[in-house]
Structure formats: C-alpha cells, structure tokens
Chain A
Amino acid sequence: GAVVSQHPSWVICKSGTSVKIECRSLDFQATTMFWYRQFPKQSLMLMATSNEGSKATYEQGVEKDKFLINHASLTLSTLTVTSAHPEDSSFYICSARRRTSGSPVYNEQFFGPGTRLTVL
C-alpha cells in the first residue's frame, strides 16, 4: 500500500520559535496533500489543502501567515508553524491523495503517522 511519512514524529520547542514539519509520499505521487490538526480525543480539523506548485487553500479561521505550507514537489509538502505558542501544541497529521486519472473520490487518502508538537 501507499506510504506517507512525516518528520519529525515529535518536537518540543520554545515559544516564539518556528517549527517545520515534513510530509512525504514515499512510493507514489500526490497531487494533493492535506494538513490536519487534532486535539486530544477530538476529530481531525482540516487546516489546509495544498496542490503541487500552487498556493495552499486554507480553511476558515486558519492563519495562513502562521501556518506556512509549501508543496514543492509531488512527493513533499511542508508545514511551518511560525512563532509558535503553547496554544499551537497539538497533533498534526498530513495526508496525501494519490495522483491517478478519474474521480478523486475513488482514491484513498493516505495518512501520515502524525507529528506531536509541544510548545513550551
């Protein structure tokens, strides 16, 4: 099956610093990648959708200047949390939709293992 990796798996940083999280599709090309945020025992909240070579589309209420997303290639998307604060502490999950022809609904989204961010 398709594999999506995230790096790092966990990170602890000081308030005010920036943190970059990488999401890679290891054995397939992903036209679209998604970034989610998950609070403890809660559902996934979609933050943004990124398409290779174009600007990310952010969900309402998500600050684009704080959560910078770059989708530089068909296998890599990065999320940078700028000037992180304790309230940004969360579990961040990316997912990738495989590039195929036909309706995207027939294609699974493959999820990364997540990155636990703790801001002190």
Chain B
Amino acid sequence: AQSVAQPEDQVNVAEGNPLTVKCTYSVSGNPYLFWYVQYPNRGLQFLLKYITGDNLVKGSYGFEAEFNKSQTSFHLKKPSALVSDSALYFCAVSPEERSYIPTFGRGTSLIVHP
C-alpha cells in the first residue's frame, strides 16, 4: 500500500530565507508525486508534479521540488520565502495500483514571518 509522510506539522521561516517542506513516500511501482497548497477555507491548488525526467521539478510561485529515489523523498523548496507563502502544503502520491488516485500526506503548515 502507498503512503506519504510529512514529518513536520509546522515549518517556520523568516521572509527572504530559503524554505523546505519535507515529504517522504512509500509506493510499489513508479512514484508519481505531487505538491498542493491550500489557503484557509479554500480548495487545493496544484504546485508541481514529478512523473518522470529531471529530478528537480519547477512549479508555480517559484517553488521547486527534488525527487530523490534512494531516499524516497520529494521535498518542496523555495529559495526565498514570502509572507504570502504561508499556507498548508500537502504532498501526494498517485500510484498506478490505485488508478492514480492520490493519497495525501497529513499536511504541513508553513508560516513565514515578516
């Protein structure tokens, strides 16, 4: 069975500093990985995905994520955080064995301080 772990409930970072939101996964077969962001009382917005190809994936709003097969990780990163990046971030894996229906991590609250 597939699973996604986001080990941090909350990440705090100062504006302008780099940020990392961690995600590790477990899946049999190819790991199709996604990151989504959710603002309060809103649905999820797609940030980026890894299907195949380069391990470094660039997405929306300056975010990127690095796929690391040996560490089974897909950490979300941004070189310089903005206060407006404060939100809830979800990592997800979409396994073929589940018809590509995503399984979400529990989410990480990112707080960027001015």
Contact = CB atoms under 8 A, between A and B. Distances in A.
B partners with A: yes
Interface of A: 4, 6, 34, 41-44, 46, 49, 91, 93, 95, 103-106, 108-114, 116
B38 to A, nearest CB: 9
A91 B38 CA distance: 13
- Taking chain A's interface residues, is the majority helix, strand, or loop, or is none over half, making it mixed? strand
Interface residues of B, number: 24
B90 A34 contact: no
B110 to A, nearest CB: 13
Interface of B: 32, 36, 41-46, 49, 51, 88, 90, 94, 96, 99-107, 109
- Taking chain B's interface residues, is the majority helix, strand, or loop, or is none over half, making it mixed? loop
5 contacts: A46-B103, A93-B44, A105-B32, A111-B44, A114-B43
Contacts of B42: 113-114
A104 B107 contact: no
Contacts of B36: 111
